Amino acid sequence: MELAVVGAGYVGLVTSVCLSEIGHHVTCIELDKSKVDKLKKGISPIYEPGLTELMMKNVNLGRLSFTTNYLEGFKNKDVIYIAVGTPENEDGSANLSYVDDVAKIIAKNVKRDAIVVTKSTVPVGTNNRIQTIINNHKPSYISIEVVSNPEFLREGSAIYDSFHGDRIVIGANSEKAAKLIEEINKPFNIPIYITGIRSAEMIKYASNAFLATKISFINEIANICERVDADVEQVAYGMGLDHRIGSHFLNAGIGYGGSCFPKDTKALIQIAGNVAYDFELLQGVVNVNKKQQRILLDKLYDRFGNLKGKKIALLGLAFKPNTDDMREAPSISISSELVKAGAIVYAYDPIAIDNAKQILDSSIHFVYNIEQAIGGADAALILTEWDEIKNMDFNLINTMKYPLLIDGRNCIKLKDIKPYQIEYHSIGRSSVKNIKSNNSEVVCQVGESK
Ligand SMILES: NC(=O)C1=CN([C@@H]2O[C@H](COP(=O)(O)OP(=O)(O)OC[C@H]3O[C@@H](n4cnc5c(N)ncnc54)[C@H](O)[C@@H]3O)[C@@H](O)[C@H]2O)C=CC1
Ligand SMILES: O=C(O)[C@H]1O[C@H](OP(=O)(O)OP(=O)(O)OC[C@H]2O[C@@H](n3ccc(=O)[nH]c3=O)[C@H](O)[C@@H]2O)[C@H](O)[C@@H](O)[C@@H]1O
């Protein structure tokens, strides 16, 4: 089928590439000329494993192209996807200005009947609003129907998720429109669930809110585990054996970040508030997450009292591994607090370093390997569990001024760290203190560990 996708961000670009991979002809339209220039040269503006290769394959097969021109992009298209951002307003609600703009642009530039599919995450009622905007601006002889098709991919595994997702949700007002979108998606071979438009919009927010709830829940359990000498990994594993609970999204750490959980949880609280419903549980999830992002700082203050002049190494800056995305990454609040406290901050990330430089404090020393980050440091904090970081050579710890490693992602196994001269803390697990004192005695304390 002939498809257009508006927006070449994490969702728009991945959607364009994957829809072309299953045989459709896709034109991806992006406002930002510098992104389109890169894409035309075969360079992806985002880091996403496997994306560039699949993109180039489909460009070379003549199934995928990029433009900044709407008239060209919409020409002869049966379906137009909206994949622009819906960032957070100051009050936590979703900013719909980009979506509204695209609705008007579609109405003014289409030359034939089409289906408009909303991939962007939008509050309940927004697809109706898009339909109204389009109806008010399109020529009367053209017919356009809006369909909701929320996206569930994760950054860092977006291509894999697009081909192995658990479900595709299609919310439509007419059976004809629903069937057309179902037809487009059939080659993905993923279960398709057709619903009403409002339910589809709600499924997206409820899913993200539920996953965020699991994370805040296990983080609180981890905090209690630390106090009662239990091990959160063992607890999460034991909980996850119950299929009603499930083992996913029970990794304790420094809280969720990213472009979606933080904004979508707050937007759902607003959606509830708009109908005079106080979503107390979700507000708790948001509050716990905010507190959890501070937990490594609390551990540092407990250890040093004062951080002035201490050299602190940050290992990993992106909000999760395998992405260059820094949006709402815990590293933002943690580094800012460290700088305020007078610490000398060294930061390393294998991929997100350039994006990090744009947004983190300019006094931070950005370095290009783990060695440079931790050499001479008073403490090192693991903020993102990149493979390179969790598999680091622990002998490097010897180059630190004091061998204090605080793992905010529980990504190092306690048994692997035990043989080293180190003081190691993590989240909801026992600490390892294995430091040679001056008279060469080894102090080794390991609690209930695996
Ligand atoms: N990032 C993710 O992993 C996921 C995001 N979503 C949702 O998908 C939507 C998009 O998110 P991202 O891709 O992360 O955003 P993004 O910010 O990475 O990309 C949005 C792109 O749209 C472009 N754009 C804005 N207005 C435009 C216009 N009028 N014409 C053409 N292009 C325009 C921007 O320049 C930008 O490149 C959001 O609603 C988000 O909540 C849903 C699932 C996963
Ligand atoms: O709407 C969205 O944008 C997307 O949001 C999340 O995807 P994403 O934010 O890319 O990444 P996740 O793997 O979900 O991780 C989000 C955050 O939670 C944290 N997390 C995740 C899992 C866990 O057990 N513990 C935990 O702290 C991660 O470190 C990360 O900071 C959802 O998983 C996707 O289904 C959804 O499409």
Q: Are 300 and 438 found together in one domain? A: yes
Rounded distance from Cα 241 to ligand 2 centre (Å):
21
Which of 291, 326, 343 terminates a domain? The answer is: 291
Q: 23 with 162, same domain?
A: yes
Any known ligand binding at 121? yes
Q: Which of 195, 221, 252 is the last residue of a domain?
A: 195
- 217/259 same-domain check: yes
Query: What is the average pLDDT across 85-106?
Result: 96
Return the ligand 1 atom nearest residue 152 CA: 43
Residue 226 labeled ligand binder: no
The per-residue pLDDT for 63 is: 98
Question: How much is the pLDDT for 437?
Answer: 61
Taken in order 227, 233, 237, 238, the sign of the CA dihedral is: negative
CA 225 to ligand 1 center in whole angstroms: 39
Q: Is 320 annotated as a binding residue?
A: yes
Last residue of a domain, one of 148, 176, 195: 195
pLDDT (0 to 100) of residue 299: 95
CA distance between the termini of the chain: 53
Q: Tell me the C-alpha to C-alpha distance, in Å, between residue 378 and each of 98, 227, 423.
A: 45, 25, 11
Mutate to test the pocket of ligand 1, among 48, 84, 116 (most ligand atoms within 8 A of CB): 84
Whole-number Å distance, alpha carbon 27 to ligand 1 midpoint, is: 16
CB environment 1-40: b (16+ within 10 A), e (fewer):
eebbbbbbbbbbbbbbbbbbbbebbbbbbbbeeebbebbe
Question: For residue 439, what pLDDT is reported?
Answer: 45
Do 72 and 166 fall into the same domain? yes
Closest ligand 1 atom, CA of 32? 35
Residues 224-279 pLDDT 10s: 999 999 999 999 999 999 999 999 999 999 999 999 999 999 999 999 999 999 99
Residue nearest to atom 18 of ligand 1 (CA): 9
- Nearest ligand to the C-alpha of residue 150? 1
Confidence of residue 447 (pLDDT cuts 50, 70, 90): very low
Question: Looking at residues 349-375, what average pLDDT do you find?
Answer: 97
Same domain, 177 and 219: no
CA distance 432 to 420: 10
Q: Span 281-309, mean pLDDT?
A: 96
**Which ligand neighbours the alpha carbon of 99 most closely?**
1
| Cα distance between residue 215 and residue 264, in whole Å | 14
Task: Confirm or deny that 57 is annotated as ligand binding.
Answer: no
For the cut 50, the answer to whether the pLDDT of residue 450 exceeds it is no
The answer to whether the beta carbons of residues 154 and 147 sit under 8 Å apart is no
List the strands of the sheet with 64-67, edge to edge. Answer: 64-67, 25-29, 2-6, 79-82, 114-118, 144-148, 168-171, 192-195
pLDDT of the residue at 438: 54
Same-domain check for residues 157 and 187? yes
- What is the rounded (10 degree) CA torsion for 355, 27, 260, 180? -170
Shared domain for 387 and 339, answered yes or no, is yes
Q: Which domain holds residue 43?
A: 2-195
Mean pLDDT over 92-104 rounds to 96
CATH of the domain at 219: 1.10.1040.10
* Cβ 213 under 6 angstroms from ligand 2: no
Mean pLDDT of the region 283-306: 96
Ligand nearest to the CA of 254: 2
Indicate which residues carry an active-site annotation: 260
How does pLDDT run across 42-91, given as a tens digit for each residue? 999 999 999 999 999 999 999 999 999 999 999 999 999 999 999 999 99
Whether 23 shows a pLDDT value over 70: the answer reads: yes
Same domain, yes or no: 266 and 301: no
**Cβ of 9 less than 6 Å from ligand 2:** no
Q: Would you say residue 448 has pLDDT above 90?
A: no
What are the pLDDT digits (tens) for 135-172?
999 999 999 999 999 999 999 999 999 999 999 999 99
Q: What is the pLDDT of residue 97?
A: 98
> Does 337 share its domain with 249?
no
User: Does the structure show a pLDDT above 50 at 445?
Assistant: no
366 is in an annotated binding site: no
Both 61 and 132 in one domain: the answer is yes
Ligand 2 atom nearest the C-alpha of 212 is: 18
pLDDT for residue 435 is more than 90:
no
Buried b (16+ CB within 10 A) or exposed e, 66-79: bbeebeebbbebbb
Q: Average the pLDDT over 303-322 and give the result.
A: 97
| Residue 224 and residue 278 in one domain | yes
Both 132 and 276 in a single domain?
no
Structural domain tally of the chain? 3
Q: What is the pLDDT of residue 121?
A: 98
pLDDT band for 441, please (50, 70, 90 cuts): very low
Whose alpha carbon is nearest atom 17 of ligand 2?
256
CATH (domain of 432): 3.40.50.720
Per-chain mean pLDDT for the chain: 95
Q: Is the confidence metric ipTM above 0.95 for this complex?
A: yes
Probe target for ligand 2 pocket from 151, 154, 239, 328, with the most ligand atoms within 8 Å of CB: 154
Report the separation in Å between the CA atom of 376 and the middle of ligand 2, taken as the mean of its atom positions: 33
Atom number in ligand 1 closest to CA 68: 31
258 touches ligand 2 (CB under 6 Å): yes
Residue 188 has pLDDT above 90, yes or no: yes
